[in-house]
Structure 1
């Protein structure tokens, strides 16, 4: 849309203006005093939000590289909310704006109204509420590994399948990430990938991975799929594993050790979450190599499924399985005996149970770098004073864990 503005031209400028303006000027009979001007520009064609977004936003290529993650948050307050023309600190009646010009048979005149303090307080409270963007506070028990993020949080039990329900099961999210797939007709298609584990805390557990365009859909699919892939795991005294074992998947290697009652779970946070849904309470695990989360989960479940009972081990090596408890002054207890007759040579054979279950592998123990003050006089005095308490922490732990006979 265009409008014509009145402008004075001299005779000398007429021919140049005629060439520039084209047909619209040449059609006039006399030297024109009209210039074609557009009243639409970039600044009045788009709203203010779109203009500011064009200045402050990040391109699609920048978003793929992780830029501009905090640009979507609204920092400024909309001060126009709650405002009405004519109402404020000084209330006025403006005919034609907030009041009709003619009311009945009388003409409305401009006049002042009484001040309304309640309206000012309501606007102030509205602005204060706009500035507070507080996230919903979670119960400390419902928190995940890192604040309000999904990994480590509980998403309930799987949905029932026919007459089978999962009321006693609890599902925990282990991984929640965004993945992309290239399609010929759609280009880069974004989806959410969720890895979760479910269990009844009594030796029955399963894990699964699911992908979906929406987060809630991916969580639901992963939860229900993990309930359909349950694995029965044998536990020792319903609190720990049967024996130490070594397991691996890909470049991930895990050494898992059986621990006495009261020791707790000293391991990777993903293994801790898996142990809680399975029902394992005392365990130590050391990871070597890659810490890929899916490899850790698969390797740990492979190790749990490959456990052997004491009877199977006794029949395999054709020896008695004897446990010596150092916390009980070396008290020995026979755990299993072979079914067949023993074939023992003149020299009795002794097999290290830990090395047998670990597959003759040992944990890589890196030598610690000594601190800079190791040769100082003060550190030498400290070691002399702490010499008589050198084993006190281990003794206290064994007193709490096991009772002496």
Structure 2
């Protein structure tokens, strides 16, 4: 005897695994980067009919293994702005060096009038950084770091200055290679 498929409310035959209104669980793909929303800003444009509001998002992404990036996005709705910022951040990923969970040497990143001073810390110190800087260094994979924000403290300037500083970091091997010397010669 032929097995009959159950009917829906409008008389059509149902097929497949989704009977009685059950839905298949959406596939969760493993994300390459962890995302952190640093700031969401409501911006307005005054037009003839009144004010047009949009949302600007600043997002930092990283894999906590030395790759970090940031991006900005603007849209009429917050989730769209965050999605755009994440897509933009994936295009701006940089690789940063790490030695025992900290940076190889102290560095000052400058963007506009914002300055971020970042200093290596001994193991067990933790991340001593404020807001936007903390998001960047945590997602870069650092566990011990000291930092100080100077000048403009706008979140976008802080993130850009931090990224600028981290991008300029060089390991001892890289410096030795640039100078055509051995690592021992650099330390004298």
Q: TM-score range by the shorter chain?
A: 0.7 to 0.9
Gaps of 5+ in 2: 1-27
Shift of the alpha carbon at 1:219?
Answer: 1.8
Q: Which whole-Å CA distance do the structure 2 matches of 1:315 and 1:212 have between them?
A: 45
Instruction: State the match for 1:291 in structure 2.
Output: 153
Structure-2-length-normalised TM-score: 0.75
Q: Does 1:337 align with 2:188?
A: no
Q: Does 1:235 align with 2:98?
A: yes
Larger Rg: 1
Q: Does 1:221 align with 2:84?
A: yes
Shift of the alpha carbon at 1:242?
Answer: 1.5
Gaps of 5+ in 1: 1-159, 321-335, 343-348, 351-405
Q: Which whole-Å CA distance do the structure 2 matches of 1:243 and 1:186 have between them?
A: 54
Distance 1:318 1:337, change over 3 A: farther
Q: Which whole-Å CA distance do the structure 1 matches of 2:178 and 2:80 have between them?
A: 48
Q: Does 1:193 align with 2:59?
A: no
Instruction: State the match for 2:119 in structure 1.
Output: 257
1:311–1:337 CA contact under 8 A, matched in 2 = no
Instruction: State the match for 2:17 in structure 1.
Output: none
Q: Which whole-Å CA distance do the structure 2 matches of 1:255 and 1:246 have between them?
A: 4
Q: Which whole-Å CA distance do the structure 2 matches of 1:315 and 1:215 have between them?
A: 46
Shift of the alpha carbon at 1:225?
Answer: 2.6
2:136–2:163 CA contact under 8 A, matched in 1 = no
1:123-168 CA-to-partner distances (Å, cap 9, x unmatched) read xxxxxxxxxxxxxxxxxxxxxxxxxxxxxxxxxxxxx9xxxx7624
Instruction: State the match for 1:179 in structure 2.
Output: 43
Distance 1:176 1:236, change over 3 A: same
Shift of the alpha carbon at 1:228?
Answer: 3.3
Shift of the alpha carbon at 1:172?
Answer: 0.5
1:204–1:230 CA contact under 8 A, matched in 2 = yes
Q: Which of 1 and 2 has higher RCO (CA within 8 Å, sep 6+)?
A: 2
1:366-404 CA-to-partner distances (Å, cap 9, x unmatched) read xxxxxxxxxxxxxxxxxxxxxxxxxxxxxxxxxxxxxxx
Q: After the TM superposition, which residues 194-209 of structure 1 pair with which residues of structure 2 at under 5 Å, given as runs? A: 194-209=57-72
Partner of 2:161, secondary structure, is helix
Structure with more of its chain in helix, by fraction: 1
Structure-1-length-normalised TM-score: 0.37
Q: Which whole-Å CA distance do the structure 2 matches of 1:211 and 1:187 have between them?
A: 20
Q: CA RMSD in A?
A: 2.5
Q: Which whole-Å CA distance do the structure 2 matches of 1:312 and 1:228 have between them?
A: 25
Structure with more of its chain in strand, by fraction: 2
Shift of the alpha carbon at 1:195?
Answer: 0.3
Partner of 2:133, secondary structure, is helix
1:315–1:337 CA contact under 8 A, matched in 2 = no
Distance 1:315 1:168, change over 3 A: closer
Q: Which whole-Å CA distance do the structure 1 matches of 2:89 and 2:175 have between them?
A: 31
1:202–1:278 CA contact under 8 A, matched in 2 = yes
Q: Does 1:275 align with 2:122?
A: no
Which structure 1 residue ranges, 4+ long, deviate > 3 Å from structure 2?
A: 314-320
